């Protein structure tokens, strides 16, 4: 599946922090990779669904051989290994539930295919017609299976007195093979705990109401800390099944020890399904990109967004509040998301306002804008007024929309040539290029001429000209001139 493979490559590129990638001739920046990943997930799921339909269609005319069984077993092994890797990365907060769902779909498709293959008898011949059927193909009957309508005297066949079908239905029987097939279908590990749960379900037994042991909430906070917020904020009547699951998971008699089983059960709760129906995860990603939130904190954000109806800029501000939220000990609640957010277009766009006016903007100031404490337009106005106060002789240009960064460009270019430093290495600060934009006495400020700026760069040791290649060359040229002038060199 091309989309699945492409999805994995793009996700790896984003996790490595690649600045950009080229996908099908189009260049995507790090910030734009989130949107590409979302699109590829949709394509990957569509391909998985199509593959499943194709497999089901092919199964109708399938001829089983030892090689096809071996191929189906290998497909399951590969899909299981992929699912385990995805689940591990999900637990480490580097992937989200959508990636788990894609991997689970692939695994289930492979296991269902294997189950269909295993249920058929091995044959090397093509289907043939059977006499008495009017040319219609009659599939071979596996051993132990009685075709409907046959007179065998077994399970409702004719009895000794000729009566038919009068016996009461036998109790439903669930075999080990039934349980194994269901485990494979759901992509669950083969553990005693999972077997017991599946067997009870297949027998039609309703799960016993969970026992809410004394102190179960404290155990949830300890064992399932990332879900503990639900105890205080989730509606216990509306989402009763969530609390039943949490109570069951921490009860010593019903304890759920397999993370994959818990995740499967959690994704089947009414709360999780409601989130999926309203596509809250997609809405958040559209606003701030695919940031690596802590999974519990992310669930809480999605719940609040659904609960309070956050949309648009309001949703973006609330999402950034969660990104930069701190714990009681001062540490960031979502440390993995912090670094990604500081590389985002939103963050860099705000930061560039300060740079445009030769000012270093603090992280707190940027966060204030991202979280809705102040608008970027208000911040721009503040920095413009500050620049006019510090540079009254440039006020008219600033009012006209010209930034100090624009005015400093030619001076930075000169500094780059004189100091032998790339343009990107010339600081956009008042202490450096700001000196070229403001010289003279108060009330008579002006910008420097090019020669004045060159002289300052060479004469002020703070700029480090004396350590440059240009300085050494200038000294060597001067020495050579003096030698020639005094006759030391002919």
Sequence spans of domains, the chain? 2-126, 218-341, 345-471
pLDDT value for 152: 31
Question: What is the phi/psi pair of residue 254, to 5°?
Answer: -125, 15
Rounded to whole angstroms, what are the CA distances from 244 to 15, 129, 220, 247, 265? Answer: 36, 55, 12, 5, 11
443 Cβ neighbours under 8 A, 6+ residues apart: none
Q: How confident is the model at residue 439 (pLDDT cuts 50, 70, 90)?
A: very high
Going by DSSP bridges, is the β-strand pair 26-29/20-23 parallel, antiparallel, or unpaired? Answer: antiparallel
- pLDDT over 70, % of the chain: 78
Over residues 403-413, mean pLDDT: 94
**pLDDT tens string 91-134:** 665 666 667 777 777 777 777 777 766 655 544 434 433 333 33
Q: What is the pLDDT of residue 134?
A: 36
Please name every residue paired with 93 in a beta bridge, in sequence order, or none if there are none: none
The DSSP string of 298-328 is: HHHHHHHHHHHT--HHHHHHHHHHHHT-B-T
Q: What are phi and psi of 342, to 5 degrees?
A: -70, -10
Burial 188-202 (b: 16+ CB within 10 A, else e): beeeeebbebbbeeb
Given a cut of 80, is residue 316 above it in pLDDT?
yes
Q: What is the pLDDT of residues 279-303, one digit of tens each?
A: 888 999 999 998 988 878 888 999 9
Q: For residue range 66-82, what is the model confidence (pLDDT) as tens digits?
A: 666 777 788 888 888 88
To the nearest whole number, what is the mean pLDDT of the chain? 79
Over 448-475, what HEC string results? CCHHHHHHHHHHCHHHCHHHCHHHHHHH
What is the separation, in whole angstroms, between the first and last Cα of the chain?
78
More confident residue, 464 or 147: 464
Q: Which of 316, 289, 265, 286 is nearest to 301 (CA)?
A: 316
What pLDDT score does 211 carry? 64
pLDDT of residue 44: 80
Contact 354, 360 (CB under 8 A): yes
Confidence at residue 153, expressed as pLDDT on a 0 to 100 scale: 31
| Distance separating alpha carbons of residues 201 and 89, to the nearest angstrom | 30
pLDDT band of residue 448 (cuts 50, 70, 90) is: very high
Cβ contacts of 228 within 8 Å, gap of 6 or more: 220, 221, 296
> At 446, phi and psi to the nearest 5?
-155, 170
> Residue 41: which residues within 8 A CB-CB, separation 6 or more?
7, 98, 99, 102
For CA atoms 118, 124, 127, 128, the dihedral sign is negative
pLDDT per residue as tens digits for the range 215-266: 899 999 999 888 889 999 998 889 999 999 999 999 988 888 888 888 888 8
Spatial contact of 322 and 335, defined as CB atoms under 8 Å apart:
no
User: Which position has the higher pLDDT, 316 or 162?
Assistant: 316
Q: Where are the beta strands (DSSP E) in 134-236?
A: none
């Amino acid at each position: 599946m091309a989309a699945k493979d492409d999805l994995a490559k793009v996700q790896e590129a984003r996790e490595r922090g690649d600045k950009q990638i080229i996908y099908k001739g189009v260049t995507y920046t790090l910030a734009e990779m989130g949107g590409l990943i979302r699109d590829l997930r949709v394509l990957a799921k569509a391909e998985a669904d199509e593959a499943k339909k194709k497999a089901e269609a092919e199964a109708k005319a399938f001829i089983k051989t030892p090689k096809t069984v071996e191929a189906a077993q290998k497909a399951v092994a590969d899909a299981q290994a992929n699912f385990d890797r995805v689940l591990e990365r999900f637990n480490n907060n580097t992937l989200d539930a959508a990636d788990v769902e894609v991997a689970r779909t692939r695994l289930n498709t492979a296991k269902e295919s294997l189950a269909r293959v295993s249920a058929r008898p091995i044959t090397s011949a093509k289907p043939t017609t059977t006499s008495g059927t009017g040319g219609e193909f009659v599939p071979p009957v596996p051993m132990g299976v009685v075709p409907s309508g046959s007179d065998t005297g077994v399970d409702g066949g004719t009895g000794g007195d000729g009566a038919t079908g009068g016996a009461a239905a036998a109790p439903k029987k669930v075999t080990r093979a039934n349980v194994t097939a269901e485990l494979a279908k759901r992509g669950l590990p083969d553990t005693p705990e999972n077997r017991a749960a599946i067997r009870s379900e297949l027998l039609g037994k309703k799960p016993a109401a969970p026992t809410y042991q004394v102190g179960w909430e404290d155990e949830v906070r300890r064992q399932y800390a990332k879900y503990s917020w639900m105890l205080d904020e989730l509606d216990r009547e509306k989402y009763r099944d969530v609390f039943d699951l949490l109570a069951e998971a921490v009860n010593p008699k019903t304890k759920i020890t397999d993370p994959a089983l818990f995740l499967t059960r959690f994704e089947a709760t009414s709360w999780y399904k409601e989130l999926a129906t309203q596509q809250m995860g997609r809405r958040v990603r559209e606003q701030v990109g695919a940031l690596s939130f802590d999974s519990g904190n992310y669930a809480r954000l999605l719940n609040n967004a659904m609960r309070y109806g956050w949309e648009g800029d309001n949703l973006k501000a609330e999402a950034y509040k969660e990104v930069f939220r701190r714990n009681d000990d001062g540490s960031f609640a979502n440390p993995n998301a912090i670094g990604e957010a500081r590389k985002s277009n939103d963050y860099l766009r705000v930061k560039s306002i300060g740079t445009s006016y030769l000012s270093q903007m603090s992280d707190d100031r940027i966060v204030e804008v991202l979280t809705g404490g102040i608008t970027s337009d208000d911040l721009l106005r503040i920095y413009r007024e500050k620049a006019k106060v510090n540079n009254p002789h440039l006020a008219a240009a600033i009012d006209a929309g010209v930034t100090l960064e624009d005015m400093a460009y030619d001076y930075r270019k000169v500094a780059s040539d004189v100091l032998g430093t790339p343009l990107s290495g010339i600081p956009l600060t008042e202490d450096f290029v700001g000196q070229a934009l403001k010289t003279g006495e108060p009330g008579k400020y002006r910008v420097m001429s090019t020669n004045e700026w060159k002289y300052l760069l060479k004469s002020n040791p703070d700029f480090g000209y004396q350590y440059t290649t240009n300085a050494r060359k200038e000294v060597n040229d001067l020495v050579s001139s003096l030698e020639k002038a005094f006759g030391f060199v002919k």
